[in-house]
Chains A and B, each alone.
Chain A
Amino acid sequence: MFTYTIRRLLIAIPTLLVISLIIFLVVTLAPSDPTANLPLSIPSEVRAQMREALGLNEPILVRYLLWLRQFFLYEPLHMLDQAFGLSLAGEDMQRILSWQTRSPVADLIVQRLPQTLWVVGTSYVVGVLIALPIGIVSAYRQYSWFDQIGTFVSMVGFSVPTFFTGVLLIVIFSVHLGWFPSIYDTTLRVTDLSTFWLQIKQMIMPVAVLALYNAAQISRFMRASMLDNLNQDYVRTARAKGMTERVVVLLHVLRNSMIPVVTVIALGVPTVFGGAIITEQVFKVNGIGQLLIIAIQGGDVPTVQTLTFIFAVLIVLFNLIADVLYGLLDPRIRYD
């Protein structure tokens, strides 16, 4: 297992390099102009000077290599400096700066990440916690009323986009009932019970929208996996042994059914860090997803590039985690 993990991590290096090149090319070759959002009164030679100052006149390959050096060498050094108060990074080692804000992209991410993790992360946890019991009961009572209703709700959760459910919830609960705020307030500091309650209130709607979407997918996986296992011979063996139905379902069937579901859940975790771009827009949560969309609109190449590359790293990493989990959960799978 350990050697397997090391081997996979080594293979991940060329994979990520190729991904970084593709991302760089896609973002750079896209017809976007970082000066396009500036006032029209700025003359075009000034714009050209600004582009030159941003390093846009260099050949693409040079820009790519410079970015690689910044991302893999300068940024880690600066982070170590910040974390432990060292001075490893030299004066000439420039950080990756956002073209829009002129602040380091890493700092932007650090500012945005808590909101995303709170809202999107909570919704993922809630979604999983809802999905698993629904999937288990749906499979155990296949074609029952519970299963039919569960299937219907899953289909709705699957097919209705979050920008619709989000706006619908805002119309019902913010506009008509006035129960919850429609805008997520990032400046809120949780200091006592009343502010904690406010935090809960502003999280309920975005979390509900995303949890419905996540639960719809995962509950279907859980149900299908349970159904696969419920008809297996070893389940009949367990019943013939005289095990109680609880033991049969929760110990024998569920544990075996969890193997593919855990993989699906692990593979979904990177999307939590990636934020839910649309839902964050609807509820004005200034998380990672919103940062990305603003950066794309502003032609902010370093931010877009760095964010997408971090998502790629997370996806590769969680793929590996899913494979390792698979090996831990299923004794038939051995990586050596």
Chain B
Amino acid sequence: MSETTMSDQSPRPLVEIRDLRMHFPIHAGVLRRRVGAVRAVDGVSFDIHEGETLGLVGESGCGKSTCGRAILRLYDITSGSIRIEGDEIGTLGQDALRPRRPRMQMVFQDPQASLNPRMTVARIIGEPLDEHTTLSRAEKLDRIYELMDAVGLNRNFANRYPHQFSGGQRQRIGIARALALNPKFIVCDEPIAALDVSIQAQVVNLLEDLQDRFGLTYLFISHDLSMVRHIADRVAVMYLGRVVELAPRDSLYGAPLHPYTQALLSAVPEPDPGLEASRRHIILKGDVPSPANPPEGCNFCTRCPQAMPVCHRIDPEMRELRPGHFAACHLHDPDHAPTAEPTAANDQPQQGE
């Protein structure tokens, strides 16, 4: 949970994602022919090192959750490579994946909907143990109690049903369930988005405690930038199915390089009213283009306040601009960078939606 888990420290990343693509086909017409695809995740690459927390941020519909689910192979991905502990899982069938599931788990966004309403807490937490271990009944019960203790749930509630708990307690059940098989890697898919602010802090602190105790590695998906700043070691910013900037937390929050990241960060409110009044907000115009029909060139070119002609033609590459700080933007490309003034953005023709 500190700056020590930088990219150059551990020899091999725990999770390596290369050019991950997840396209959902669109069928239309009388014969339900395939007419296109929603490119929810379109060429995402990043590493997650052991013991670190990678924050994945972006606005609604940018493909964050799809990316997290695709990494755990809850979808059959379109293409790309997913390696967990060097083990390629991107192409495995669901049967071959099953024995690998204990190592990678997920905490879901909606703690109400993601728990089977007809199972008691003990069964929800204990079910993975039935499938993946050969523990006796008593050992399983011990493990269930141990997990409930770990997430701060009263043991007496083991035979209650999910609807009898509050939102925060339900999310604790979801976390205990994810921990049941001692995973190394947990995808937290907006685990706090459905909770009250006071409960959010509790759950995030719980996640941090558990990370310290069990040496967990998180992919923390969220749209809450300040919460990500609190929990993440490195942060990846997604826009329309792609990662546009990936950097250590302080570097990203201190000096964002991509115009989209700058716009996102400028939208975070400042608690000091004096500072807030003098702050310059970057207001993005228009809507996110449809992921079924992304614009040519850079995905962000339709809304970028600093878009240049080249942005509408060529898709920018991810490049390392500072140590560990990657961004995909022509502004920082020596071949295309504006020499004098950035071209005025808003008189560019709007593409897409």
A176 at the interface (CB under 8 A from B): no
Say yes or no: B74 contacts A236, CB within 8 Å: yes
Stretch among A24-32, A40-48, A61-69, A244-252 lining the B interface? A244-252
- Beyond the given pairs A232-B113, A247-B131, 15 more chain A to chain B contacts, judged by CB atoms under 8 angstroms and listed by A's residue number, are A233-B110, A236-B74, A236-B114, A237-B106, A237-B114, A237-B177, A241-B127, A242-B99, A242-B101, A242-B128, A242-B132, A243-B128, A244-B131, A256-B116, A332-B117
Q: Which residues of B contact A (CB under 8 A)?
A: 32, 69, 72, 74, 94, 97-99, 101-102, 105-106, 108-110, 113-118, 127-128, 131-132, 161, 163, 174, 177, 181
Instruction: Check B132–A234 contact: CB distance below 8 A.
Output: no
Q: Does A255 reach chain B (CB closer than 8 Å)?
A: yes
- Assess A241 versus B131: contact at CB under 8 Å? Given A234-B116, A255-B118, A332-B117: yes
Pick the contact of B108: A143, A237, A243 (CB < 8 A).
A237
Q: Is the beta-carbon distance between B105 and A332 smaller than 8 angstroms? A: no
Is residue A331 within 8 Å, beta carbon to beta carbon, of the partner chain? Answer: yes
Shortest distance from the beta carbon of B266 to any chain A beta carbon, whole Å: 33
Q: How far is the CB of B115 from chain A (nearest CB, A)?
A: 6
In contact, A234 and B114 (Cβ under 8 angstroms):
yes
Taking the closest CB of chain B, its distance from the CB of A241, in whole angstroms, is 4
List the A side residues contacting B128 at CB < 8 Å: 241-243
B71 to chain A, nearest CB (A): 11
Q: Out of A236, A238, A331, which one reaches B117, CB within 8 Å?
A: A331
- Tell me, in angstroms, the Cα distance from A234 to B114 when the chains sit together: 4
A-B contact pairs, 15 of them (CB 8 A): A143-B32, A233-B109, A234-B116, A234-B117, A236-B69, A237-B108, A238-B116, A241-B105, A241-B131, A243-B128, A245-B94, A255-B118, A256-B116, A330-B118, A331-B163
Give chain A nearest CB distance to B151 CB in angstroms. Answer: 16
Per the bound structure, the CA–CA distance linking A243 and B119 in Å amounts to: 15
CA A238 – CA B132 in complex, angstroms?
13
> With A234-B113, A234-B117, A256-B116 given, is the CB distance from A240 to B131 under 8 Å?
no
A201 at the interface (CB under 8 A from B): no
Contact B98 A242 (CB under 8 A): yes
B74 touches A233 (CB 8 A): no
Q: Which of B32, B110, B115, B131 lies in contact with A242, CB distance below 8 A?
A: B131
Given A240-B106, A245-B94, A234 contacting B115 (CB threshold 8 A): yes
Q: Does A51 contact B (CB under 8 A)?
A: no
In the complex with contacts A237-B108, A242-B102, A332-B116 CB distance below 8 A: no
Q: In the complex, which residues of chain A have a beta carbon less than 8 angstroms from the beta carbon of B132? A: 242
Q: Are A237 and B161 in contact (CB under 8 A)?
A: no
Could you tell me if A243 and B127 are in contact, using CB atoms closer than 8 angstroms?
A: yes
Chain A residue nearest to B114 in the complex (CB): A233
Q: Given A233-B113, A244-B98, A256–B118 Cβ distance below 8 Å? A: yes
Docked Cα-Cα span, A237 to B109, in Å, equals 11
| Whole-angstrom CA separation of A233 from B115 in the bound complex | 7
Select from chain B the residue with minimum beta-carbon distance to A143: B32
The CA of A32 and the CA of B12, in the complex, are separated in Å by: 92
A330 proximity list for chain B (CB < 8 A)? 117-118
Assess whether A239 is interfacial by the CB under 8 Å rule.
yes
Q: Which of A242, A243, A245 has the most CB of B within 10 A?
A: A242
Kindly state the separation between the CA atoms of A330 and B163 in the bound complex, as whole angstroms: 11
User: A residues within 8 A CB of B32?
Assistant: 143
**B contact residues around A232 at 8 Å (CB):** 113
Chain A positions within 8 Å of B94 at CB level: 245
Interface residues of A in 101-129 (CB under 8 A from B): none
